[in-house]
Copies of this chain bind each other. A is one copy, B any other.
Amino acid sequence: MPPMREHIRLYVNAPLCPGEGVVLSREQAHYLRKVMRRSDGDRIGLFNGRDGEWRAIIQTQGKQDCTATPHELIQPQTATPDLWLICALIKRTRLEIVAEKAAELGVREIHPVLTEYTNAPPMKVERLCAITIEAAEQCGLVSVPKLLAPEKLQTILDGWPAERRILFCDESGAGKAAIIALQSAARERAPWAVLTGPEGGFSPAERARLLSMPQTLAVSLGPRILRADTAAISALALWQSVCGDWDTGPVALADQPV
């Protein structure tokens, strides 16, 4: 039986080694001490996306601070499938839903992009980061997706890696049925990216460029128009269930700490 999971799990940036105390942030210390009423000797889970999840003992320091010392590995580090989400910037609340769900569904990197028809306010990077971290903390994950700064779709396509396939959610409806297309493509075992557009869709020039790239698999997400956030979540779920680890389970990292 796997060890019991801790109720409170916190993401930290520091390396996690048994016996080496980690200084928690002021916000984390406040949350533990004031919100959750934890005190010296209480246990929490700690993870950093590299060293698995550790059971740690907390110790308060002065009036506001708190350290946590790992002592037992309770969940080995696993690799999130090599999937990126390339999503056009959309309205803040919808982008927040996408970031949260991308963390839960298991995405390695989130690349917000500006497209020709993008008409959204600047994204709040810190808030989006906090949302992905909270999703990872609450859902028992050991990794948080890397959130990149927004760039132009054109720029990201200019430097697109030759081997990384693109699941292009083509709102024109001209793409193939998603599951069948993904099942054929899954045999290749390539890294992937799911690409979703802004509320107004992709421009004809963007569509033409995407369709001309050998990496692109254009798929249809059905006869109904989906909002951008719904399309992103649906495509991630379909990809995970066909090409990702929903079938096989997570892959243990070879270099996992013991």
> Which residues of B are found within 8 Å of A246, using beta-carbon distances?
177-179, 220-223
Contact A224 B141 (CB under 8 A): yes
A118 to B221, CA, bound (A): 32
In the complex, the chain B residue whose C-beta lies closest to that of A176 is B247
Query: When the two chains form their complex, are residues A242 and B179 in contact, meaning their CB atoms are under 8 A apart?
Result: yes
Binary interface profile of A, 174-185, with partner B (CB < 8 Å = 1, else 0)? 000111100000
Cβ-closest chain B residue relative to A136: B224
Chain B min CB distance to A174 (Å):
12
**Given contacts A105-B230, A227-B104, is CB(A222)–CB(B238) below 8 Å?**
no
Q: Is there a chain B Cβ closer than 8 Å to A200's Cβ?
A: no
Instruction: Assess whether B241 is in contact with A177, with CB atoms less than 8 Å apart.
Output: yes
Does residue A249 face the partner (Cβ distance < 8 Å to B)? yes
Q: How many copies does the complex hold?
A: 2
Cβ-based interface call for A139 (8 A): yes
Determine if A50 is an interface residue (Cβ-Cβ < 8 Å).
Answer: no
Interface residues on A, range: 35 or more
Which residues on B sit within 8 Å (CB–CB) of A114? none
Neighbouring B residues of A240 by C-beta, 8 Å? 222
Q: Which partner residue on chain B sits nearest A246 by CB separation?
A: B222
Docked pose: A104 CA to B228 CA in angstroms: 11
Query: Contact string, A218-251, partner B, CB cutoff 8 A, digits 1/0?
Result: 0011111111001001100110111011110110
CB distance from A9 to the nearest CB of B (A): 11
Q: Is there an interface contact between B249 and A223, defined as CB atoms closer than 8 Å?
A: yes
Task: Tell whether A76 is near chain B: CB-to-CB under 8 Å.
Answer: no
Query: Which residues from chain A sit less than 8 Å from chain B, CB to CB?
Result: 78, 97, 101, 104-106, 135, 138-141, 177-180, 220-227, 230, 233-234, 237-238, 240-242, 244-247, 249-250
Q: Known pairs A179-B246, A221-B241, A222-B241. 18 more at Cβ < 8 A? A: A104-B224, A104-B225, A105-B224, A106-B224, A139-B225, A139-B227, A177-B246, A178-B241, A179-B179, A179-B247, A180-B247, A221-B246, A222-B245, A223-B246, A233-B233, A233-B234, A233-B237, A238-B241
